[in-house]
Amino acid sequence: MVTLLIADDHPLYRDALRGALSMSLPDLTLLEAGDLLGTVEVLQHHDVDLLLLDLHMPGSHDLFGLLHVRSRFPELPVAIVSGTEDPALISKIVSAGASGFIPKTASAEDIGAAVQAILDGDIWLPDTISQEVEQIDEAFAALADKVSSLTPSQYKVLCYMRDGLLNKQIGYNLDIAEATVKAHVTAIFKKLGINNRTQAVLIASQLELEPPVTKS
C-alpha cells in the first residue's frame, strides 16, 4: 500500500487529483492538507511515501513550502504540482530538492506516470519542458539549503526586507513588536551567513520569494 499526501488549498483540484490517482494507482491511500501547517502536521503523524505539494497554498509562499518540508523531512520525496510552467522556476525547484514537477494541466495518465516514476526513485518532468530545464544549480542548491533553516516567521520577515519595509512596518504587518522583528533579522543574518539587509535582499531576489499578504 502506497500513501500519498495531496497538499493544495483548492478542494476541487484535490478532488480531481484524487480521481486521477485512483484510476492510475488503485492500491493507494490518499491524505489531504490545505496549507503548509496542516501539511507538516499530517507528515508528523503519518508514514507518507510521496508528497504532492502546491507552490502557492497558504503558508507556502512559493519555494518556502518545499524548502521547509525538505528540511523537516529530508527522506520524503516531494513533487511540486503547479499551474506555473516556467523552466527557470522548475530548474530552481529541482535544485531545491524536488523529485519532480507535475503541471496542473497534466492528464490523468501523465499524473499516474509521474507518481510511479518518483516512487521508483526517479526525477520526473513533463516531456514538453524537460529539455528546457537546466541541470541542478549547485550554488542555488546551497543557497536554498541555508534558507530552509529559517522558521516561517523569519521567512516572512525576509520577504518584507526584500520589499524595502522598515522594521516598524514589518512589525505592523506581522502584528509583532519591533524588538521581535529585530531579533528575527539578527537570526536571519546568522543563518544565511550575511551581515546586512542588502545581502538579504539579494538572496530573497534569487529565490524569487513572494511576499506574504499584507493587512488591508
In a domain, 158, yes or no: yes
pTM of the model: 0.83
| C-beta neighbour count of 13 within 10 angstroms | 15
> What are the pLDDT digits (tens) for 120-161?
999 999 887 777 676 677 888 888 889 989 998 999 999 899
> What are the pLDDT digits (tens) for 143-152?
888 998 999 8
DSSP 92-128: HHHHTT-SEEEETT--HHHHHHHHHHHHTT--B--HH
Task: Provide the percentage of residues in the chain whose pLDDT is more than 70.
Answer: 94
The pLDDT score that the predictor gives to residue 61 is 73
> Does residue 13 share a domain with residue 118?
yes
Task: Name the nearest CA neighbour of 129 among 177, 170, 157, 94.
Answer: 94
Tell me the backbone φ, ψ of residue 25, rounded to 5 degrees. -130, 85
Q: Which amino acid is located at 37 in the chain?
A: L
Task: Name the nearest CA neighbour of 154 among 178, 186, 177, 123.
Answer: 186
In a domain, 201, yes or no: yes
List all residues 6 or more positions away from 44 whose beta carbon is below 8 Å from its beta carbon. Answer: none
The rounded mean pLDDT for the chain is 88
Instruction: Examine the pLDDT at 26 and tell me if it is beyond 80.
Output: no
| C-beta neighbour count of 122 within 10 angstroms | 13
> What are the pLDDT digits (tens) for 37-70?
999 999 999 999 999 999 888 887 778 889 999 9
> Does residue 25 share a domain with residue 61?
yes
> Does residue 168 share a domain with residue 66?
no
Q: Which amino acid is located at 192 in the chain?
A: L
Rounded Cα distance between 108 and 17, Å, is: 8
Instruction: Examine the pLDDT at 213 and tell me if it is beyond 50.
Output: no
In a domain, 211, yes or no: no
Q: Which amino acid is located at 95 in the chain?
A: S
Rounded Cα distance between 154 and 45, Å, is: 25
> Residue 196 belongs to a domain with what CATH number?
1.10.10.10
State the greatest distance between any 2 C-alpha atoms of the chain, in Å, as a whole number.
Answer: 53
The pLDDT score that the predictor gives to residue 88 is 81
> Residue 51 belongs to a domain with what CATH number?
3.40.50.2300
Cell triple for residue 108? 490523468
What domain range includes position 169?
A: 150-206
* Domain total of the chain: 2
Rounded Cα distance between 118 and 125, Å, is: 10
Final residue of a domain: which of 95, 130, 165?
A: 130
Final residue of a domain: which of 71, 102, 130?
A: 130
Task: Name the nearest CA neighbour of 47 among 114, 99, 80, 2.
Answer: 2
> Does residue 184 share a domain with residue 106?
no
